[in-house]
């Protein structure tokens, strides 16, 4: 917390303003592809749930190659947590062999409203 003094109608008052670290961090985006046992183990569902908890937007889908692919966008600190989840955790029944992070970019604004999973293969 940071304390700020402000003047309101001729008298001084103190108010606490929490520094909103989320609002101050950068918006980031990236593409991902996860290899291993990631289809048929609820990986997309858990990816959506994790993304929503972290305030991440984008999408996830199964690929025809047997991997899971997607795009994620959000606050930099939450994006880093999401990358770690994609690389190390995944769904309870998944076995992640490799996660490729691609096209990391800084964003001016988010391009999606929410995080969704696609039912079709891409």
Which residues are known to be catalytic? Answer: 44, 62
Tokens of 1: 């917390």
Distance CA 99, CA 35 (A): 6
Strand ranges inside the chain, DSSP E = 2-8, 11-17, 27-37, 57-62, 68-75, 95-107, 115-117
């Amino acid at each position: 917390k940071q304390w700020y003094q402000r003047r309101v109608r001729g008298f001084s008052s103190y108010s606490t303003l929490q520094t909103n670290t989320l609002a101050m961090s950068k918006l980031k985006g990236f593409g991902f592809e996860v290899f291993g046992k990631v289809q048929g183990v609820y990986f997309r569902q858990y990816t959506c749930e994790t993304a929503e908890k972290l305030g991440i937007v984008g999408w996830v889908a199964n690929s025809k190659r047997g991997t899971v692919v997607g795009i994620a966008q959000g606050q930099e600190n939450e994006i880093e947590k999401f990358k770690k989840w994609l690389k190390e955790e995944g769904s309870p029944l998944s076995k992640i062999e490799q996660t490729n992070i691609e096209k990391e970019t800084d964003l001016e604004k988010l391009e999606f409203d929410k995080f969704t999973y696609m039912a079709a293969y891409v």
